[in-house]
A and B are shown apart, each in its own frame.
Chain A
């Protein structure tokens, strides 16, 4: 098992390195001089020279590449010339609101999906069809539109929740629900399908014959089997949550990486965009690594080699 974990970690490192390399190559493949690209909209005497010095643009490409790799390793993403702050500071200060939103959205999605699947898998046709229809609607509704619909209903008309702002837990309810529903829709479909397959397995009949209650069978035995295909979706889920968080922040006017990214794109703040892209890549890599290791914990068969 340990050798599998170690080889998985090594693969992840290679993928992370490849993404840094891709970012470096993409930057150099853009039309125009690197110092013009990094300066964004700014223009003042000495700026181009300062950037050239900071990035060592007078050196050979391999030397610049090594330097870039080393700096990223140290967590140094350079300076945002538009915001006149170190990129790490800009991104760091906005990371928590996005992580908070994505985690809460993810948690909510899992709770909704598991509850739906537990309640409807293998049960009456009508309740299944209603649940399945709702899931399909949520899964296929764009986050952007869903957010506006929720706002119209619960903020503009019923006035239960604010648009945004720092007014405690109330201000995060609608954004996290917006983020959770599409994910929950898809997850519930996959979970139910897997649970129904498992319910037909002989071992379920065996467990039943011991007189175990239906809820315990579903929650303890069947769900665990059904989790595998759901975990496979995990990598996609985390990507969806991050991407969704960016859009959700824009709709609700919340602080976070989305706002920073959008601002950076609009003001041509390439160092910040670069950092966000790399951060997203690292999160993807880390998440899929964790999930792969999680497989081993869920399914004993995978450990036994």
Chain B
């Protein structure tokens, strides 16, 4: 009984926060400058250099000291940032950016077209070993047209490229800093143009940022202009969720991220605290990716039976206490490219699933009650690499496992595997079901990651489905916004219809803060909390 009351109350609070974002801004009053906050975060980035980082948790940290050419707005369009305007050539292969002329790096260097070229050249060069190079699949070279105009030239049209230039991974670092070598360790050496200067990093403990007083080139989507309000932001790395929550309730930190569903009631509806929930899978949902080339999953009837043989909604509600929505598509519901037509279009059809399996010849039953065909049990492994198991996702999968067994005699076998075993399965193309959430990028790029012919799941599979890989290539090339939207809608529909993918839920970020911390929000391009640029403290 108590559980129900917490979750329904939470749902109401979350809904009101989501709807009332602008309202809250008005109620908070007029922002004032000054003060310092301590932010308890769950994950300590192993690398602070945005070009090289690979963890989702590193990117919202980097946003504090790194700016991009353009900014991505919540509605999926783009706002000026370091570039005041941009244009694309008719053939879709040349992107020209006109840059601000008043931008200075933290180390005193001037920001100009040469600096942009230095960054793109640096990322593209294989020996620099950047993670961001994946975004430059079709990037050829950069040209300095004039001191403040730069042209980025592609080998073929790439509809995801503008989004990539807004990505923090391709943020601009001082060329002088780039030349110094390794910037993963952060600190003042890692000089960007962002609203905060990276003051100090103490491994295992904290990272400190101080206000960039000269900052007047904030992104077009920010709430204010000019320097950040806060004098100082300190990130404290507190990996234990209960400790983060306790540190906030006892006032030792001002703001935390990664609030557990069970701790939500500590902060929701409390006079001293506020709770915000972030974009619900602006990137991808948490999905089962089913390798459709390996029996028995090469039979679409088996995949569809897996997709429809259980009721997802109560399972998600039970594990996450109503704090996250169930998913309907590969792309998350907060993403403008989300295909809404899929809502209610599939799932929870147990009779239908049983009928499909009967038709497919899985009519026998073994001693444990599982279906068999020619004496072989209907069984597919879910290989979940241990390092990625988090926030009770394995519990949700176990719930699905139990439901499929009971409902349709399907043996969905969850195995927590090592990273090495997964790497081997991926290299041989022998993975069977891979549970995943993708890093945020352009929707076509995300679909390519999951289902594309050279994406990370299907790059080593000899005979991927030509219809879906063809559509993805078309989406990557398509520079017409409406046409591209129609194609990504079609890919999402096909992915679920063919049950290449079974979406499970849309992960969210939870922020909790003291009541005097204002201006908290989420950034669309990061699919995570925004930088501290708009944060301010009321008295």
Contacts and interface: CB of A to CB of B under 8 A. Distances in A.
Interface string B239-254: 1101100110111100
Contacts of B127: 45-46
A135 interface: no
A177 B539 CA distance: 37
Given A41-B54, A85-B185, A148-B242, A265 B202 contact: no
Contacts of B243: 148, 151, 163, 251-253
Interface string B37-80: 00000001011000010110000000000000000000000000
B204 A255 contact: yes
Contacts, number: 115
A152 interface: yes
A31 B424 contact: yes
B204 A259 contact: yes
B46 A263 contact: yes
Nearest to A250: B239
A216 to B, nearest CB: 46
B420 A31 contact: yes
Contacts of A44: 126, 129-130, 133
Contact of B420 (A37, A255, A256): A37
B288 interface: no
Contacts of B359: none
A83 B184 contact: yes
A155 B126 contact: no
Interface in B110-135: 126-127, 129-130, 133
Given A30-B420, A47-B129, A155-B252, A267 B203 contact: no
Given A30-B420, A32-B420, A152-B246, A84 B130 contact: no
Contacts of B211: none
A260 interface: yes
A166 interface: yes
B179 to A, nearest CB: 16
B182 interface: yes
Contact of A263 (B44, B129, B185, B206): B44
B294 interface: no
A262 interface: yes
Interface residues of B, number: 39
Contacts of A251: 240, 243
Contacts of A32: 420-421, 423-424, 427
A197 interface: no
Nearest to A159: B250
Contact of A253 (B52, B238, B423): B238
Given A44-B130, A47-B129, A148 B252 contact: no
Nearest to B183: A84
Contacts of B54: 41-42
A46 B129 contact: yes
B395 interface: no
A269 B47 CA distance: 13
A166 B420 contact: no
A256 B250 contact: no
Contacts of A260: 203-204
A82 B237 contact: no
Contacts of B52: 84
Interface in B216-243: 236-240, 242-243
Interface string B386-412: 010000000000000000000000000
5 contacts: A42-B129, A82-B47, A83-B46, A84-B182, A263-B44
